[in-house]
Amino acid sequence: VNRTIDWDGDAIAIIDQTLLPGEERVLRIRDVEELAEAIRSLRVRGAPALGVAGALGVALAVRGARHVQAEADRAAALLAATRPTAINLSWGIEQARSHASKGAGAVLRAALELVEADVRTNRAMAELGAEWVAENIATPVRVLTHCNTGALACVEIGTALGVIAESHRRGLIEEVLATETRPLLQGSRLTAWELQRLGIPFRMVTDGAAPSVIARGEVSLVMVGADRIAANGDVANKIGTFPLALAAARARVPFVVVAPESTRDESTGSGAEIRIEERGEDEVLGYAGVRVAPDGAHAMNPAFDVTPADLITAIITEDRVIVPRLE
Ligand code: MRU
């Protein structure tokens, strides 16, 4: 398996991320309803991978359709409603849907181009990011990261984890500290699995421990991905990112966001306008089907938070390094 998501000729092939690290199973998705379920349940997840899923989903829906535009519109509405926070999902859907008037073939070609563009974008971010690390952070670098921003969150390579892997390849990295990322453990399950395969030294930390680990001077860099970047530079990312940024600012440790230009949303002025996905309370009250909290307990489960631009040292995209404070 070398791609998180791809087109296999007549289906969307994804690695089912709910089964990792225990099992590497490829799912072949043949209709849009099945894709919507896979997105909602996080079988495929991570902002860039969701963009590609959205585009391929529209392409899947219009195959053999009599009314291509109507089918594309229906699929677009269904898929866009699955998860609200990552802008890449609706961006990818629109990239494909905008070709519907030219027929199903044009939609599929646009979606396939988006798959390849994602790989190129990630490669460019990894290189630009590793150069930034080399120039700005004293070696050996000790970096803390959150959630999963590796190849599993994209088609290949990754965003923040792509930069970390490239920096490691260049001999800059001593150790990675990876947060567990409650409630669904994208860190412990997915980032740990990827770091192991990349041969990068790492240890896990609980989400609760991470801010004080930063305050104690254990890391020289915090590097995360993003699900949506507002026009003013505020960043929505996995819940638990904001406390890392607060701790990093207090400890004067650089806090860096790595995300493609497609994650920037110029139509959203600030983070306050970003819709934060609220997921089911069972994800918090237990894990993997095992109830932990007593019967009758309830939970809040925001899946993302917003880090204000003034806490962000730099945003690295495939094209440039943005310093929100100076924009
Ligand atoms: O709920 P998820 O697992 O889709 O959330 C993923 C993240 O928050 C990532 O950090 C984000 O998508 C950016 S990295 C590609």
Calculate how far, in angstroms, residue 67's C-alpha sits from the geometric centre of ligand 1: 34
Residue 1, pLDDT above cutoff 80: no
Residue-wise pLDDT for 149-208, tens only, equals: 999 999 999 999 999 999 999 999 999 999 999 999 999 999 999 999 999 999 999 999
Token pair listed for 41: 């349940």
User: Which one-letter DSSP state was computed for residue 46?
Assistant: S
Token pair listed for 88: 């890449």
Residue-wise pLDDT for 97-146, tens only, equals: 999 999 999 999 999 999 999 999 999 999 999 999 999 999 999 999 99
Residue-averaged pLDDT of the chain: 97
Which atom of ligand 1 has the smallest separation from the CA of 150? 15
Which of 82, 152, 157, 186 for mutating ligand 1's site (highest number of atoms within 8 Å of CB)? 186
State the pLDDT at residue 124.
98
- 255 CA to centre of own chain: 17
Global confidence as pTM:
0.97
Strands of the 228-230 sheet, one edge to the other = 264-265, 228-230, 235-238, 304-307
State the pLDDT at residue 180.
98
Residue-wise pLDDT for 207-235, tens only, equals: 999 999 999 999 999 999 999 999 999 99
Calculate how far, in angstroms, residue 42's C-alpha sits from the geometric centre of ligand 1: 10
Q: Is 227 a catalytic residue?
A: yes
Pair 68, 103: CB distance under 8 Å: yes
Residue-wise pLDDT for 48-60, tens only, equals: 999 999 999 999 9
Calculate how far, in angstroms, residue 211's C-alpha sits from the geometric centre of ligand 1: 19
Which atom of ligand 1 has the smallest separation from the CA of 153? 15
Pair 228, 263: CB distance under 8 Å: yes
Residue with tokens 């930034």: 132
Q: How far is CA 251 from CA 10, 48, 173, 311, in A?
A: 51, 31, 20, 12
Please state the φ and ψ torsions of residue 39, each to the nearest 5 degrees: -75, -45
- Over residues 315-323, the mean pLDDT reads 97
- Over residues 296-325, the mean pLDDT reads 97
State the pLDDT at residue 54.
98
Residue 302, pLDDT above cutoff 90: yes
State the pLDDT at residue 121.
98
Which of 207, 227, 258, 316 for mutating ligand 1's site (highest number of atoms within 8 Å of CB)? 227
Determine the residue type at 175: E
- Over residues 240-253, the mean pLDDT reads 98
Residue 243, pLDDT above cutoff 90: yes
Calculate how far, in angstroms, residue 278's C-alpha sits from the geometric centre of ligand 1: 14
Token pair listed for 290: 């095992």
Q: Is the CB of 225 under 6 A from ligand 1?
A: yes
User: Which one-letter DSSP state was computed for residue 37?
Assistant: H
State the pLDDT at residue 188.
98
The residue from 6, 118, 207, 227 that is catalytic is: 227
Q: Is the CB of 153 under 6 A from ligand 1?
A: yes
Q: Is the CB of 147 under 6 A from ligand 1?
A: yes
State the pLDDT at residue 327.
75
**Binning pLDDT at 50, 70 and 90, where does residue 324 land?**
confident
- Over residues 280-309, the mean pLDDT reads 97
